[in-house]
Structure 1
Amino acid sequence: MLELGFEWRPEEGRTVLAHRRHEGPLRVQKALYPEGPALCQVLVLHPPAGIAGGDALTLQVALASGSQALVTTPGAGKWYRSKGPQATQVLDFRVGDGAVLEWLPQETILYDQLNGHTETRVQLGADALYVGLDLLCLGRTASGETLRQGRLGMVARIAQQGRLLWSEQGAIEGGSRLLQSPAGLRGMPVSGTLLVAGRAISNEVLDACRAVVPAVGEGAVTRLPNLLIARYLGPAAEPGRAWFVDLWARLRPALTGREAQVPRIWHT
């Protein structure tokens, strides 16, 4: 388990990583400020590099009112094959009034024969903003691996001041009809979701996002009250990530007044 707590200190004009506690392999190296003192950026490290059968990982992130944080990862996440035991991951995010949390991990690779379950819980205060990215790669396609067996269960829930904004649950099962179905993943090995929750999306911003077309693959954008959902489906992670970054570049200035700046670690 890794617990992170961020605070806004107006006398210093900065967001600080005020609380950090861990049990197990998850770590964070240090607080970084590549975009200035108002926004704190941290890299969540998982030295084993992947989640194996029987692992139970929990990441808890709490932002006090007015604070801003961007949390990312130094490389692709992995769900390894399992001979039986289920692995679990829980993301528990609490974003205070007026605070901004951007959860922008790099892509996640699902190994053949995995057995996993992941749950994301987000609680937002008044005028809080959450941006969450989830990009899944089914198998190690560069090595010719596909997801023939295994299962990943997924649950996501976002609420603001006690009102439910988003609830979704599903599963990806190796070898299932969903992977090839025209109503499912259509044989594509990469799918992704970008969720932007907590603040209203204007018609102008929505139109700007819908005008962005992935260079490869397909994308779609939907708006609900205080929520924007973008979905990607394609043959590789790189064009999917590039499309999500293009959307972020249009959403971030409108919602936070800050230009989009890709984390440096993504280029290493």
Structure 2
Amino acid sequence: MKFAQKEIVIAPTLQRARGIGRIVTKQGDSRTRLDTLFQEGCGKIRLPNTHSSSLEAVLINTAGGITGGDHLQWSADVAAGGHLVLTTQACERSYRSTGDFARVETHLRVGADAHLDWLPQETILFAASKLDRKLDVDLAGGATLTAIESVLLGRDAMGEDASDALLRDNWRIRRNGQLIHAEATQLCAHSAERSSLSLLAGNRAFASVLHVAATKERAETLCARLRAFLPADSAIAASANGERLVIRAMAKTGLALRRLIVPVLIELTGAGSLPRLWHL
């Protein structure tokens, strides 16, 4: 009597990128200085020399991009009265995934009367990519924030549109533990998302900018100033609600999007200028 043997196929365990970067500041001699720096795996942080009293940190993913199953974790803690600028070395690239989502988690804490500029460069979504991104910010009393996340659907020069890319992007901003801003962006690779007039309307680049001011009056003043120079013929708009100022922008290309958002960011950053890495 013969028994058939069932072949067992064990799927290979693929190598995945893991990265952690954490920075903590302190105040001294009227400048924001480094107190703690931790980095692990593909997550690296570099501190370029600047002529400002603020501290600038550059987040680097040495894996060269992210794909399904990768996990990056960034965190920063700004001391009371300090000013920290966080940016990235280049555009982050989310590559094709054969299974899981890539995850990027950012946790930021801003002390009393301090300011944080969260200014990562654009994220490029490639065809069949899957990205799950989370931004959590805790603000103390009097603390302020300028934050941006921008997305490019494919590469302009290659004529890509990444029509099947998936994105989940969640923001939670709290003041003294109380939720003051929440938003969720989701791309499901549906054609209506790309073409609908109420959604992307054929644009391949979009950005959300949030500024949390110290007071409602300050947010309203900034909103009026921005509206005075925003181009009327472009897909960009600003609104103020309490201490929050929100700007949404869309464009056909990444370069066109930058031309829209750079003047906005310069107006809202604590230093009044962008990091050198932002300059093309």
> Which secondary structure does the structure 2 equivalent of 1:143 belong to?
coil
> Which secondary structure does the structure 2 equivalent of 1:144 belong to?
coil
Letter in 2 for 1:267: H
Listed one character per residue, the Cα deviations across residues 177-220 of structure 1 (whole Å, up to 9, x for unaligned) are 11111111001000101100142335443211012224974100
1:193 aligns with 2:198: no
Aligned to 1:132: 147
TM superposition shift of 1:174: 2.1
TM superposition shift of 1:45: 1.1
Distance 1:202 1:28 in 2: 31
Listed one character per residue, the Cα deviations across residues 26-45 of structure 1 (whole Å, up to 9, x for unaligned) are 1112353232xx20111111
Letter in 2 for 1:153: R
Task: Show structure 1 runs of 5+ residues with no match.
Answer: none
> Which secondary structure does the structure 2 equivalent of 1:152 belong to?
strand
TM superposition shift of 1:221: 0.1
Cα pair 2:26 2:79 within 8 Å, conserved: yes
Aligned to 1:98: 113
Task: Show structure 2 runs of 5+ residues with no match.
Answer: 1-19
Q: How does 1:85-164 map to 2 (within 5 A)?
A: 85-164=100-179
Aligned to 1:264: 276
1:44 aligns with 2:59: yes
Rg comparison, structure with higher value: 2
Q: How does 1:5-84 map to 2 (within 5 A)?
A: 5-9=24-28, 12-35=29-52, 38-84=53-99
Listed one character per residue, the Cα deviations across residues 46-65 of structure 1 (whole Å, up to 9, x for unaligned) are 12221111101100111111
Letter in 2 for 1:263: P
- Greater Cα shift, 170-179 or 115-124: 170-179
Distance 1:174 1:91 in 2: 25
Distance 1:213 1:83 in 2: 41
TM superposition shift of 1:242: 2.7
Letter in 2 for 1:223: A
> Which secondary structure does the structure 2 equivalent of 1:23 belong to?
strand
Aligned to 2:9: none
Listed one character per residue, the Cα deviations across residues 93-146 of structure 1 (whole Å, up to 9, x for unaligned) are 011111111011111101110112001001000010111011110112321211
Distance 2:239 2:156 in 1: 29
Distance 1:136 1:143 in 2: 16
Letter in 1 for 2:32: T
Listed one character per residue, the Cα deviations across residues 231-258 of structure 1 (whole Å, up to 9, x for unaligned) are 0011122232232221233334xxx5x5
Cα pair 1:147 1:175 within 8 Å, conserved: no
Of 220, 224, 243, the match for 2:237:
220
> Which secondary structure does the structure 2 equivalent of 1:142 belong to?
coil
TM-score by length of 1: 0.91
Cα pair 1:217 1:240 within 8 Å, conserved: no
Name the Cα RMSD after superposition: 1.7
Distance 1:26 1:101 in 2: 20
Letter in 1 for 2:279: H
TM-score by length of 2: 0.87
Distance 1:262 1:168 in 2: 25
Letter in 2 for 1:95: V
How many residues align? The count is 259
Distance 1:182 1:216 in 2: 15
Aligned to 1:243: 260
Closer, same or farther: CA 43–216 of 1 in aligned 2, 3 Å: farther
Cα pair 1:124 1:198 within 8 Å, conserved: no
Distance 2:117 2:36 in 1: 18
